């Protein structure tokens, strides 16, 4: 497969030159080399259709000929915007939505923001689609608080989208007046709809607002969470910890098969989302805490709290020795480590396997075809748990 953006140093798909099957083999081999010594590595779970999987797009506005604006992405290692009309990774509905945004912005004579001079209005556009619900969110990031003729813009956008067969669910203006490469600013104004969209994943419904963290490949996220929950072997009696829980998706997916779920996450907005997600889904046995995972689990372990299963899904830098030590102290029967970096996974497994855990299996999942990223679900169990019955251990605090 070729892409004309590649020759222009887009940099978004470094593996595009390799057949998809060769990409999968390369990723599986890498996981085997890094974690194969701890236990068996299952074949990688690839996508049947590894294209247009991204449910989120961020476009940056730039000037085009004739005083108009265009939009696209920064070329690799530069601040030059490469105009993008279509992308092999993005949801095609979002390509069309972006086309409609450009048409409406040009009709309203909006000017792109100029980073160096600090002039102009439109900085970025963030688009999101709930692939299961078909709902589409448009977030227009502006450098100034006033979007002149906002009502006309919305009207033009809905009409331009409709022409392209797209129904826009909500439109939000986000104000980012700072000199920064961070996309979203602090202030937000809903211009149309409710300011969020809904999506469903593994049987749960999630409300996504502009800044909610959400996995970008919904097809493979269901594969990933399915493997994670399966590895936990829940019976309905377990106390489950979901560490680094984001908006609570893994814990909420597991909650129907557990006695109690406790989620811990550093990002406060994500924790608020997780609490809302539990409520909207009628999940009553899940609680979420905003805290550093290491600090939280160390305190819990010291206070004698127990968990039967610990899910952990840390960022690329992996977990910390102190977190892992506290896991060992809490002595869950199973640990399910979801990793987005097999190198830090291998490092963390070295500690867990020295302290009484064995790796039952590791399954790589290709969440990001054509890029170098690899996700792994690693199922561990406590060695001395053996064949013994685990009689629904109670949480220390009841």
Q: Where are the beta strands (DSSP E) in the chain?
A: 56-63, 69-74, 81-83, 122-129, 136-142, 170-175, 187-192, 197-201, 204-208, 239-243, 260-265, 286-290, 309-312, 334-339, 357-365, 375-382
Tell me how crowded residue 237 is: count the other CB atoms within 10 A of its CB: 15
Tell me how crowded residue 362 is: count the other CB atoms within 10 A of its CB: 27
Q: Which is nearer to ligand SAH, 107 or 291 (CB)?
A: 291
4 CB-contact burial (10 Å; exposed 0-12 / middle 13-18 / buried 19+): exposed
Per-residue tokens: 196: 């969020």
Length of the chain: 398
Task: Give, as one character, the DSSP assignment of residue 387.
Answer: T
Min. distance of Cβ 366 from ligand SAH in angstroms? 16
Is 340 a catalytic site residue?
yes
Q: 195 with 188: CB under 8 angstroms?
A: yes
Q: Which is nearer to ligand SAH, 61 or 311 (CB)?
A: 311
Interface residues with ligand SAH (CB under 6 A) are 213, 215, 244-246, 249-250, 264-267, 270, 292-293, 313-315
Q: Are strands 375-382 and 239-243 parallel, antiparallel or unpaired?
A: unpaired
Q: Which is nearer to ligand SAH, 5 or 208 (CB)?
A: 208
Min. distance of Cβ 214 from ligand SAH in angstroms? 7
Q: Which is nearer to ligand SAH, 52 or 295 (CB)?
A: 295
Q: Which is nearer to ligand SAH, 313 or 366 (CB)?
A: 313
Task: Give, as one character, the DSSP assignment of residue 281.
Answer: T
Min. distance of Cβ 316 from ligand SAH in angstroms? 9
Min. distance of Cβ 123 from ligand SAH in angstroms? 24
Q: Of these residues, 108, 125, 245, 340, which one is catalytic?
A: 340
Check the CA dihedral 87-90-94-98 and report its sign: negative
Min. distance of Cβ 377 from ligand SAH in angstroms? 11
Query: Which residues are identified as catalytic?
Result: 340
């Amino acid at each position: 497969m070729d892409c004309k953006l590649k020759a222009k140093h887009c940099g978004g798909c470094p593996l595009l030159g390799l057949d998809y099957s060769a990409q999968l083999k390369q990723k599986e081999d890498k996981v085997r080399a890094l974690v194969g010594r701890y236990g068996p590595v299952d074949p990688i779970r690839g996508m049947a259709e590894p294209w247009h999987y991204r449910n989120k797009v961020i476009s940056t506005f730039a000037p085009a000929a004739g005083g108009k604006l265009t939009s696209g992405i920064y070329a690799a290692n530069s601040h030059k915007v490469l105009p993008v009309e279509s992308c092999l990774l993005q949801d095609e509905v979002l390509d069309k939505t972006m086309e409609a945004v450009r048409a409406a912005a040009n009709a309203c004579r909006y000017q792109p923001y100029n980073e160096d001079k600090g002039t102009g209005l439109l900085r970025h556009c963030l688009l999101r689609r709930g692939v299961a619900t078909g709902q589409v969110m448009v977030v227009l990031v502006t450098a100034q608080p006033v979007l002149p003729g906002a009502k006309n813009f919305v009207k033009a956008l809905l009409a331009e989208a409709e022409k392209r067969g797209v129904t826009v669910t909500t439109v939000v203006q986000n104000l980012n007046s700072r000199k920064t490469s961070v996309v979203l600013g602090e202030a937000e104004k809903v211009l149309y709809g409710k300011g969020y969209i809904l999506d469903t994943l593994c049987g749960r419904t999630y409300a996504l607002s502009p800044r909610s963290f959400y996995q970008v490949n919904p097809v493979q996220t269901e594969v990933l969470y399915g493997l994670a929950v399966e590895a936990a072997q829940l019976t309905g009696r377990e106390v489950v910890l979901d560490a680094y829980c984001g908006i609570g998706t893994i814990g909420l997916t597991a909650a129907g098969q557990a006695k109690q779920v406790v989620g811990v996450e550093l990002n406060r907005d994500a924790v608020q989302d997780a609490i809302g997600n539990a409520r909207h889904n009628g999940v009553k046995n899940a609680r979420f805490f905003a805290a550093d995972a290491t600090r939280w689990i160390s305190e819990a372990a010291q206070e004698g709290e127990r968990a039967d299963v610990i899910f952990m899904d840390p960022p690329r830098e992996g977990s910390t020795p102190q977190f892992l030590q506290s896991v060992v102290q809490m002595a869950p029967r199973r640990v399910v480590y979801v990793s987005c970096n097999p190198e830090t996974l291998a490092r963390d497994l070295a500690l867990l396997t020295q302290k009484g855990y064995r790796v039952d299996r590791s399954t790589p999942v290709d969440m990001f075809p054509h890029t170098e990223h690899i996700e792994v679900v690693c199922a561990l169990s406590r060695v001395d748990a053996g064949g013994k019955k685990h009689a629904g251990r109670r949480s220390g605090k009841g």
